[in-house]
Amino acid sequence: MALWCRESPWRWSDRSPRATGRVCDVGELVVSPTVRVLDDEAQLAQRAAEAIELGAAEAIDRRGRFHWALAGGGTPKRTYRVLAGPPHRETFPWNRLDAWIGDERIVPGNDPASNRRMILEHLLWPAGADTSALHAFDTESGDPDAAARSYADQLAARVPGNADGVPVLDLVLLGLGTDAHTASWFPGSRFCAGETVAVVDEEHAGYRRLTLTPAIVNAARQVLFLVAGASKQDALRRVLLGPSDPLAIPAQRVAPTGGRLTWMLDRDAAGQFFAD
Ligand code: 6PG
Mean pLDDT of the chain: 88
In this structure, which topology does domain 39-270 adopt according to CATH? Rossmann fold (3.40.50)
| Residue with CA at minimum distance from ligand 1 atom 9 | 183
Specify the ligand 1 atom closest to the Cα of 102: 9
- Dist. CA 111–CA 268, nearest whole Å: 31
Contact 207, 113 (CB under 8 A): yes
Running DSSP on this structure, what letter comes out for residue 122?
Answer: I
Residue nearest to atom 1 of ligand 1 (CA): 72
Dist CA 117 CA 28 (whole Å) = 36
Q: Is the dihedral of CA 57, 62, 63, 64 positive or negative?
A: positive
Confidence of residue 31 (pLDDT cuts 50, 70, 90): low
Identify the bridge partners of residue 100 per DSSP, sorted by sequence position.
69, 135
Q: Whose CA is nearest to atom 7 of ligand 1?
A: 72
- Cα-to-chain-centroid distance, residue 58: 18
Distance CA(137)–CA(144), nearest Å, equals 9
Q: Which residues line ligand 1 (CB under 6 A)?
A: 71-75, 103, 115, 175-177, 181-184
- For the stretch 192-247, pLDDT in tens is 988 999 999 888 888 999 999 999 999 999 999 999 999 999 999 999 988 899 99
> Which atom of ligand 1 is least distant from the CA of 74?
16
Q: State the alpha helices, DSSP H only, in the chain.
A: 12-15, 41-63, 74-83, 88-91, 115-119, 125-127, 144-158, 214-217, 233-241, 267-274
Domain ranges, ordered by start, for the chain = 39-270
Question: Ligand 1 atom closest to Cα of 77?
Answer: 15
